[in-house]
Amino acid sequence: MLLAFAQQNGGHKGHDHSGHNHSGHNHSGHNHSGHDHSGHDHSGHDHSGHNHGNKGKGASHDGHGHKAGAGHANACGYVHDNSVFNPGKVAFHHISDQNIYSIGPWHFPLPCIPYSTDKGLDFFSSSKFAADTHGTSTKAYKRYVLYEGAMRRIKDSSFPQEQVDIGQHNVFTTSRKDAKGKERAVVNVCYNGKSYECDNKSTADFGLFGGGFTSFYDFSITKNVFTMILIAFLLGLLFISIAKKYKKNPKAAPSGAQGFMETMFVFIQDEVCKPFLGPKWEKYTPFLMALFFFILGLNLFGQVPFFGGSNVTGNLAVTAVLAIFAFFVVNFSGNGDYWKHIFWMPGIPAWVKTVVTPVEFAGVFIKPITLMLRLFGNITAGHMVIVIFVGLIFIFGENGANPTAAWGTSIASMALTLFMMAIELLVAFIQAFVFTILTASYIGASTEEHHAH
């Protein structure tokens, strides 16, 4: 309901410009009939052909370049247009990893640790960027800026190294074709009337997602990194406190958090570790428990509304590292029978082995890839659907132009969002369990003795 109220009053129509400085603006042919300009400084302002009749609200801004809420064009000709709501862009923005931690309109700075190929390592706070409510810089520092929460670096070495004020709406994107002829979004900074192109941070995606190696690497404590540290710390405190209770009263019935955690611990032990790992279950239980509770903690923390919207397990880099850990444990634990079945499976004709062996070898790498993609896809999809359901309010309300539709849609949107959040709560447990049970099955297959077949 609050979202519906906010968007009804969030448009640019009927703007009150009291206290607004338009010095140097050319308003020739500009009609401000009915516009309240109390306290408005028009010094140096060309008003030829300008109609200010009928002072009051509801002014016409024809010819001003911000029709339907488009906003003022900056000195580089970019117009910040918020007249059309883009749910996809908003959803991707809210699930992305960022160099600031945002709770509603409040930004909490995080350590920025970029390494550039020409200047080396830098260390500073993201507060240097003075980000606006969308997480975009209003200041540049050491040629770095934020765009929607993520750090970029200005390519031109002539740009000032010290902190400079670039103002609002002066960090923006344009599109251009890359070497392969594909359209790519490029972040630009407008400073002193000149546009400066920016580099994205280096990503090891080998160009699959439009990334690659650039002029700088970002080793910052981002929102996702901070969340992982926080969850690891909280889980550590929880398990240490529970362990102390067991040591203090080993025969006492579990109570409080102890009873809740013991239920899940015993479930994973009896339904996952023992059946899949057999007599070696105790050796691998710590690893499987660490996977389960770490993934579950991150999933549940990401469900808390209005608390940063962390999407850690919906980040491909995070799920890839978890899958790599599983890959190494599985293959370093593999016995002779495991490798024999991969490279030259016994008991089948030789001509069949020439087909089966490449498939089995590919399976060694496909298994961790499926672990990575399954967790990433399920968590990311859930977060995006929730954001898009909320976005329906803005779509049907035409970004404030149709309040009745916005209020009506908000009821359905709220119901769908609550339903989806309930589903997401189940998914948080299910995906942690699925990742753990599949890892256990892979370890069990790699350590299984020949006589156990």
Condensed to tens digits (0 to 9), the pLDDT of residues 223-255 reads 999 999 999 999 999 999 999 999 998 888 888
The domain tally of the chain equals: 2
| pLDDT mean over 30-42 | 44
Q: What is the pLDDT of residues 116-163, one digit of tens each?
A: 989 999 999 999 999 988 889 999 999 999 999 999 999 999 999 999
Q: What is the pLDDT of residues 177-226, one digit of tens each?
A: 766 777 788 999 999 989 999 999 998 876 666 678 899 999 999 999 99
* In-domain check, residue 40: no
Checking if the pLDDT of 318 tops 70, the result is yes
- Domain stop point among 221, 240, 272: 221
* In-domain check, residue 323: yes
Question: Poorest-confidence range of 55-69, 197-211, 391-405?
Answer: 55-69
Same domain for 370 and 256: yes
Which of 362, 249, 437 minimizes the C-alpha distance to 445? 437
- 114 vs 17, more confident: 114
| pLDDT mean over 406-424 | 87
- Domain stop point among 176, 194, 221: 221
Checking if the pLDDT of 61 tops 60, the result is no
Q: Is the Cβ–Cβ distance between 198 and 188 less than 8 Å?
A: yes
Checking if the pLDDT of 110 tops 70, the result is yes
As given in the structure block, the two tokens for residue 370 are 């499926």
As given in the structure block, the two tokens for residue 69 are 């809420």
Same domain for 411 and 282: yes
Same domain for 353 and 278: yes
* In-domain check, residue 321: yes
* In-domain check, residue 341: yes
Same domain for 320 and 199: no
pLDDT tier at 448, thresholds 50, 70, 90: confident
Same domain for 210 and 286: no
* In-domain check, residue 81: no
| pLDDT mean over 355-372 | 93
Which helix (H) or strand (E) covers residue 120, if one does?
A: strand 120-121
Checking if the pLDDT of 18 tops 60, the result is no
> How does DSSP classify residue 270?
I
| pLDDT mean over 355-367 | 92
Same domain for 252 and 129: no
Same domain for 204 and 271: no
Q: Is the Cβ–Cβ distance between 35 and 56 less than 8 Å?
A: yes
| pLDDT mean over 4-18 | 37
Checking if the pLDDT of 302 tops 60, the result is yes
Domain ranges, residue 144: 98-221
Same domain for 245 and 331: yes
- In sequence order, the 6+-apart residues with CB closer than 8 A to the CB of 288 are 268, 272, 273, 436, 439, 440
Same domain for 319 and 282: yes
- 93 vs 165, more confident: 165
| pLDDT mean over 281-308 | 91
pLDDT at 71: 57
Same domain for 171 and 131: yes
Same domain for 236 and 120: no
Checking if the pLDDT of 19 tops 60, the result is no
* In-domain check, residue 362: yes
* In-domain check, residue 131: yes
- Domain stop point among 173, 188, 221: 221
Which of 121, 126, 156, 120 minimizes the C-alpha distance to 139? 126
* In-domain check, residue 5: no
> How does DSSP classify residue 169?
T
Question: Poorest-confidence range of 40-49, 111-120, 211-220, 375-384?
Answer: 40-49
pLDDT at 159: 95
Residue % of the chain over a pLDDT of 70: 80
pLDDT at 209: 65
pLDDT at 75: 78
Checking if the pLDDT of 365 tops 80, the result is yes
Same domain for 281 and 410: yes
- Mean pLDDT rounded to a whole number for the chain: 81
